[in-house]
Structure 1
């Protein structure tokens, strides 16, 4: 769009259905590359991607013409098919419904990238549930716990 200037940075977080630990380290990099291809194919900028066996963090630079919900739906649908068609998981793979999306300023990019790239170390101390609820509180997002992801007890 000529004459349109923007700076939109969004961290997207979503989980494996049932919070199963189904993303294995031997193929997670292939998954991240595949998702990066989807994001770039939709003309958005991938800044960072990483996760754990049960959830994923994606940090993008987004154009104002992009519909975030459409992008996330496409990422989930296509990556779900990629995992199942390539038989990367020993189990039927599916993402849970819903996602978190959190916006950042340009000055926060480095900190968000470091946070995402250090997921494995971070989750030695903090569970995904604690992390996710902390995001909701930090960003002052009203929520009802019964509508959060399915949590493994």
Structure 2
């Protein structure tokens, strides 16, 4: 697209189906790489990814050539197939329906990158449910309780 200039930074957050702790430390780095490749192959720039046992945070620079919903559909679909094809979990792996998508200015990126890098420490103090609801409220995203991620305590 000639004469199109953008600076779009998006953080997406999505959870394992039923919030099960299915993502193992033994293969999570390979999952980072696989998801990063999907995002990059679609023309976007990965800035930070981190996975904990039951959810993932992806921060990337997004090009205006694709919708966020199409990208997330592909990321979740392809990564689920990859996990299942490689028999990385007991039973069938899938991501929960939906995702959170949040935009940030360039000046916010260093703090956000550090936050995503420190997810393991962060979740010793705050549950994923608390974190996710805080993100929705901070970004003033209207949501319907009926369609929020299913949370299992």
Q: TM-score, normalised by structure 2?
A: 0.98
Aligned to 1:124: 124
Deviations 1:64-122 (A, max 9, x none): 12210000000000000000000011221000000000000010111111010100000
Q: What corresponds to 1:31 in structure 2?
A: 31
CA–CA separation in structure 2 for the residues paired with 1:145 and 1:108: 28
What is aligned with 1:7?
A: 7
**Unmatched segments (≥5 aa) in structure 2:** none
Residue deviations 1:112-142 (CA, integer Å, cap 9, x gap)? 1101010000000000000000001101111
Alpha-carbon separation, structure 2, partners of 1:125 and 1:10 = 25
Task: Return 139-148 or 77-86, whichever deviates more.
Answer: 139-148
Distance across 2 between alignment mates of 1:133 and 1:53: 18
CA distance in 1 between counterparts of 2:71 and 2:111 reads 24
| Secondary structure of 1:126 counterpart | coil
- Output the aligned Cα RMSD: 0.7
Aligned-partner SS, 1:96: coil
Partner of 2:135: 135
TM-score, scaled relative to structure 1: 0.98
Consecutive aligned runs of 4 or more in structure 1 exceeding 4 Å deviation: none
CA positional deviation for 1:146 = 2.1
Q: How many residues align?
A: 153
Aligned to 1:47, what secondary structure does the other structure show?
Answer: strand
Contiguous gaps of at least 5 residues in structure 1: none
Q: Matches of 1:147 and 1:62 in 2, distance apart? A: 26
Instruction: Report SS of the residue matched to 1:108.
Output: helix
Provide the C-alpha distance between the structure 2 equivalents of 1:65 and 1:43, rounded to a whole number of angstroms: 8
